[in-house]
Structure 1
């Protein structure tokens, strides 16, 4: 696992989960890709290069700020426009052979990070999995999230999983799973630099 070695000043720009409001939640979205024709590492490599293309533009738009023709690397930022929310940014804070982790920056409605990973289960099936560890960034954003944000977020990431499954196989087997569970706080170093899960099994 490779970790970003950016400056302390840039670390302070991140909106870590412990800076947010309300319960820390783990949200999982995953699907088994039917007739997958690529390895997990190949899938993640393509997602790193074309990340904005996998997000549903009617809900959220990601824009590369630089190096638009190259895969996302540690420290790269994406401009984020969420429907009904002021523009904000996320940053790549961790990369693995089979995963990519983004952390929120100041102004984002959530404080925390999200990992996009791909791996094989014990049957050899390829699974694309998204897991976030985050809480609302403040009281106002928590109220808005409870009203409409939760449904929109679930739609965003299940659509993302489906787009990956269609791009690299014949869609998902069965349906896309979406599960939310409370989780315990993590040490600041972990929440700043580590993925939310280890994607293993290539």
Structure 2
């Protein structure tokens, strides 16, 4: 597995639609849950997610496919995915960071969102395995911002809570309690300190 560097000189950042180029507030959205009876470690869970990413997404809402056709190879830094979003169109994302316990993808030009999203797994103090998705993004344009407010937000929440639930049922007995879904507006000082080339959170504790 390749650790992500700065991306300078290797084309990793070419064509990315970063959050600073978007419209509206910069939102941090978190979706996470504890997994009941998880049968693997967080790093093993993330290897499964990287290898079967497209299968874990709700196909009635979004369909992911590999740009290189290597559908069963684990996603790695630099890989790109085609994303077909119901009612919105076809777009592209790129993996910009991958380590043992997380992977991060960023949107490419034309995507309805500008930013990145990290998928990670780790343990809490009791040893429970947590699967966590955190995005930091703006709408890709002012027009898309208005469209997102009229229906896109609910679809995104449904997509990623369904993804969390599918992962929990794949590696365990489902979620403990419920799936948490939280949204916060990032303040200017937090946005200024954000590393737009790295993960949105650090997954630690295997």
In the TM superposition, 1:6-155 aligns within 5 A as 7=9, 10-66=12-68, 67-155=70-158
Distance 1:151 1:130, change over 3 A: same
Separation of aligned partners in 1, 2:131 and 2:161:
11
Deviation at 1:184, TM superposition (A): 3.4
Query: Counterpart of 2:176 in 1: which secondary structure?
Result: coil
| Aligned residue in 2 for 1:173 | 176
Q: Secondary structure at the match of 2:118?
A: strand
Mapped to 2, the partners of 1:174 and 1:132 lie a distance apart of 22
Decide whether the 8 Å contact of 1:6 with 1:75 is kept in 2.
no
Deviation at 1:189, TM superposition (A): 8.2
Q: Over aligned residue pairs, what C-alpha RMSD do you find?
A: 1.7
In 2, are the aligned partners of 1:17 and 1:112 still within 8 Å (CA)?
A: yes
Query: 2: distance between equivalents of 1:127 and 1:174?
Result: 12
The equivalent position to 2:202 in structure 1, one of 190, 198, 201, is: 198
Q: 2:163 aligns with which of 150, 160, 165?
A: 160
| Unaligned residue ranges in structure 2 (runs of 5+) | none
CA contact (8 A) 1:80 1:90 kept: yes
Q: What is the CA–CA distance in structure 1 between the aligned matches of 2:73 and 2:8, rounded to whole Å? A: 20
Structure 1's consecutive aligned runs of 4 or more residues displaced over 4 angstroms after TM superposition are none
Tell whether the 8 Å contact from 1:78 to 1:91 is kept in structure 2 after alignment. yes
The Cα shift of 1:69 comes to: 2.6
Q: Scaled by the length of structure 1, what TM-score is found? A: 0.95
Q: Is 1:2 aligned to 2:7, yes or no?
A: no
Q: How many pairs does the alignment contain?
A: 201
SS in 2 for 1:144: helix
Q: What's the secondary structure of 2:177's corresponding residue?
A: coil
| Structure 1: gaps (5+ residues) | none
Supply the distance in 1 between the matched residues of 2:199 and 2:124 (Cα, whole angstroms): 19
CA contact (8 A) 1:52 1:63 kept: yes
Contact 1:120 1:201 in 2 (8 A): yes
Q: Whole-Å Cα distance in 1 between the matches of residues 79 and 193 of structure 2?
A: 20
